[in-house]
Amino acid sequence: MHGQVLPSLVSIKGNNVVFNSGISRQFDAIILATGYKSSVNEWLKGADYLIGEDGMSKQKFPNHWKGRHGLYCAGLARKGINGLAGDALSIADDISNLLKTHDAKKLN
């Protein structure tokens, strides 16, 4: 499933996502679009190291987009649309590298 917009989510546990419609699906990657004004700090718990009180990244450039346990934040470094594009490319590269490493481990 690629590029599908889904309803509000209720919970995320590992790769399993439950939506408020009752649908449950598994994903390799999850992208949450929070909109222009970040409200991430209001609903994302346990990421104080990553997100500040203003909902923006606490991490410093150039690795401001990378959190822990597969959590990424694109566009939260106040670098405009170009910064968002760079973040998205960095995140895609990181996910690709993780998947390649995972696949290589499965083969050994």
Give the position of tokens 């989510």: 9
Listed in sequence order, the DSSP H helices in 1-108 are: 40-43, 80-107
Amino acid, res. 22 = G
Top-confidence residue, 82 or 3: 82
| Residue 8: HSE in the Cβ half-sphere, 13 Å Cα cutoff | 3
**pLDDT tens digits, residue range 38-77?**
777 778 788 778 888 888 888 888 888 888 878 888 887 7
Q: What are phi and psi for residue 106, nearest 5 degrees? A: -65, -35
